[in-house]
Amino acid sequence: MQGCELEDNGFRRIWRRYTHPITQVVCISIALIAAVSGPFGTIDTMSFFNRLVYWTAIAFGTTAAAYLVREVTAG
């Protein structure tokens, strides 16, 4: 059962990093900047609201993936 405890601790570490206020501010800032600037043609193909939803999902999703990969590869 020690492996389960390690998994729980790993996910708790990920969640603690993911919900840290600095992480949240950075992700929201990235999403807002991307929504306003509309990179990769999103300014021409999406409304502002759709860009905001899209880039928020991208910012938070890639951050979650990065923290997960960091935890898995940390050994």
The pLDDT tens digits for 19-50 are 999 999 999 999 999 999 999 999 999 999 99
The pLDDT, as a whole number, for residue 74 is 81
Tokens 């991307």 label which residue? 34
Q: Give dist(CA 68, CA 62) in Å, integer.
A: 10
Phi and psi of 65, rounded to 5°? -65, -40
Residue in 61, 52, 53 with CA at minimum distance from that of residue 32: 52
Q: pLDDT: is 73 or 44 the higher one? A: 44
DSSP 8-state assignment for residue 74: T
Give the torsion sign (CA, 20, 23, 26, 28): negative
Instruction: Report the first-to-last Cα separation within the chain, whole angstroms.
Output: 18
- pLDDT by residue (tens digit) across 3-21? 554 456 888 888 999 999 9
Give pTM, 2 decimals. 0.81
Q: pLDDT: is 72 or 6 the higher one? A: 72
